[in-house]
Structure 1
């Protein structure tokens, strides 16, 4: 647990080893594994009320907030890349200043959401209409939880800052802390005090606030120095402009990626209820893949960023290769598991015979998906660490265009199989286009200024 101890000074970097990669990656994998547990508990406690409406209200409320907060995911990724480079350059004053900038963005964004909540929620229910009873309960839920927005978005910055330094065990502790408080309060407020849907919202609000407090405590080393409150450094125009550019690129790239998946679901809806349901079941396999690979992609972000900051091209290449090697091991295992046990997993997710049959028909695409998607996942982490975000944005634009063409050509001919093929083609194109830009990324490690171009 040494990495949880606060402190701004970086130790002398040892040669990168597999143990070091795993020390960064495995806590993230474990942290991700806790995420579905909380959603299950939220659903289970309101399910004890014996009515369908509270379950739907919590579900739709959580989805709306998750979609809104997802927009600010750039803060986590951008903070990781920029902080890792400052850490690698041994610029500890800049490391501390980055934390302040990230917190200011997070708190400012959260306050803006609170101020605009009426319009936000009205728009959300226009896009996702529900019954009057469910919408009323969901509004109660959202009007409570929105007050946690500064803490929730600020935690993106805190998490990115910790990952940049390889302090992923601290991230795991933070996630476990928040989930434990949330679950205990869920049980108390809903089952013990009978607060219903508002009880779930209050439990999450308190958990987010306590998580932000815990996060600040884990970052306490930064607050012992003066750099975090050095206005001239924190608000330096060049650094602010770079941070804004990195974050804007990541936001555009993420919106394009989300557009691919949203269009995937919209097109699938045109095939009828059964193929749509089958696709929704199989997309959970992609979620599992993403959770499993996140640890190694995050390790790549931290280690590549540190190497970029140190202007150590050989270390950058070694970090990219070693994290990707563990990615290969992971996807090979996932492909085998999906191939051998995918049918059993499908049966656990749905009891509808026709959906089970359809999902099995398309299961081979999910066996292939981790293999075809590996390079794109890992290159994302590598490019985030190097803050080559303009490349990420541009290559994602090309990927989205190729996906649209592939879907237009393959779906009329092959139906849902063509849609899955188009999605996997998008994985390959994203990897190929980023791979073509990788030599420029390595070359940037030899220059002092070439990280974000």
Structure 2
């Protein structure tokens, strides 16, 4: 019976059941930003678009940098799921929410400093800078809820409740979209309207999901976690906090290097000229879009790998890794084929500039290689998150960033082709440098069981 349960948890059908809600919910994420910009595009000054765009960039940088809250929570919960330790999961949730609120409140208190630094870095016009500060100051009040939602997503994904995660993201994003129309088109507000819409949406999603998972009949497995005795026990466990901080530190460094590498590529492209910069930005935008699709199987790997390690089931682990990787590879090839055969249509969706379309066509091969070059990195990120091996993720990213830095030093002779080739090589190196340590993940499933709470 034990064997059949494991097989059902790593079946192709089960993996797809984990992946499709991620794909659906991820589609709504860029849509919200697009609608925010579209709302501002209806006003009488392009500065409104610039102000919202820079404000969104600032908030997204903070949000992306705090990604360790979701990833760390997912790995820890998935392993506790494998051990059937519901109390441990509830404690992980409590500790994560406390940390999210401490960071979120700190962000609110530091808002004047954060917006001041951003204004100095962006060097925008006085009007755009003023609008950016107005937008960001309001939007940052969503920080505790937004970071809390990351923890909730981590619990949901770790428990393999991807539908619950989809529900949370759909609630947040659909409320955001609806309030954009109400505040901007209905009430005639400007950047303050879209900022308030985001704040209301994040808090609505957070409060709903707290109620949803705390119901006695909740299938999430942490019902009644809002108990004083459990909360105090979770907060007193300093060893568990230390473990989470170490994991979070390593993932944060890895994430910061990811952002730095893309910034290095764009900075290099800017030195080549406006047309090269626009083409490079288009390629990176495509990369950001396809990442939403490839993330689906990486998230499935997080949950399945963590569960297998929690159960100390090496066979379950090997099947989960092999099958999620196979599905991700197939998806990467499908994406590459779509880009290859749909090049003209895709480019015309992004721009009507004939010079840019022609220049992008000349470099389109690199866009088609994005998914095949990067899918292994996405998958191994998921595998190592599930194994809570942040140190290896950090070290692999240091190696990859170093490789990109060296490649960029020698890319000038080949212009944009050299730059994009360096970026593709960097994506591949991310996967290879993580795969180098895969034996440590397999060994973890054979290690003696240790209780972590």
Interval containing the TM-score (normalised by the shorter chain)? over 0.9
Q: CA deviation at 1:449?
A: 6.2
**Aligned to 1:111, which of 89, 93, 105?**
105
Q: Distance in 1 between matches of 2:119 and 2:229?
A: 40
Secondary structure at 1:50's aligned position in 2?
A: coil
Q: CA deviation at 1:223?
A: 4.5
Q: Structure 1 residues 227, 439: closer, same or farther in 2, change over 3 A?
A: farther
Q: CA deviation at 1:413?
A: 2.2
Q: Distance in 2 between matches of 1:386 and 1:450?
A: 13
**Aligned to 2:133, which of 119, 135, 139?**
139
Equivalent in the alignment of 1:389: 390
Q: Distance in 1 between matches of 2:55 and 2:115?
A: 9
Equivalent in the alignment of 2:427: 427
Q: Distance in 1 between matches of 2:37 and 2:433?
A: 41
Q: Structure 1 residues 450, 91: closer, same or farther in 2, change over 3 A?
A: closer
Secondary structure at 1:351's aligned position in 2?
A: coil
4+ residue runs over 4 A deviation? 225-228, 449-452
Verify the 8 A CA contact 1:99 1:228 in the aligned structure 2.
Answer: no
Verify the 8 A CA contact 1:96 1:227 in the aligned structure 2.
Answer: no
TM-score by length of 1: 0.94
Q: Distance in 2 between matches of 1:118 and 1:382?
A: 39
Q: Structure 1 residues 198, 233: closer, same or farther in 2, change over 3 A?
A: closer
Q: Distance in 1 between matches of 2:450 and 2:269?
A: 42
Q: CA deviation at 1:451?
A: 11
Q: CA deviation at 1:228?
A: 7.6
Equivalent in the alignment of 1:130: 124
Equivalent in the alignment of 1:229: 230
**Aligned to 2:195, which of 196, 201, 207?**
201
Equivalent in the alignment of 2:180: 186
Alignment of 1:225-374 (within 5 A): 225=225, 226=227, 229-374=230-375
Q: CA deviation at 1:73?
A: 0.9
Write out per-residue CA displacement over residues 315-339 of structure 1, whole angstroms, 9 at most, x where no aligned residue: 1111111111110110110010000
1:52 paired with 2:53, answer no
Verify the 8 A CA contact 2:103 2:144 in the aligned structure 1.
Answer: yes
Secondary structure at 2:446's aligned position in 1?
A: coil
Equivalent in the alignment of 2:436: 436
Alignment of 1:67-78 (within 5 A): 67-78=61-72
How big is the alpha-carbon RMSD for the aligned residues of Structure 1 and Structure 2?
A: 1.7
Q: Distance in 2 between matches of 1:358 and 1:125?
A: 33
Verify the 8 A CA contact 2:94 2:231 in the aligned structure 1.
Answer: no
TM-score by length of 2: 0.94
Q: Distance in 2 between matches of 1:197 and 1:120?
A: 18
Q: CA deviation at 1:450?
A: 8.4
**Aligned to 1:159, which of 153, 158, 162?**
153
Equivalent in the alignment of 2:73: 79
Q: CA deviation at 1:250?
A: 0.3
Q: Give unpaired runs (5+ residues) of structure 2.
A: none
Q: Structure 1 residues 450, 396: closer, same or farther in 2, change over 3 A?
A: farther
Aligned pairs, number? 440
1:32 paired with 2:31, answer no
**Aligned to 1:64, which of 51, 58, 66?**
58
Secondary structure at 1:291's aligned position in 2?
A: helix
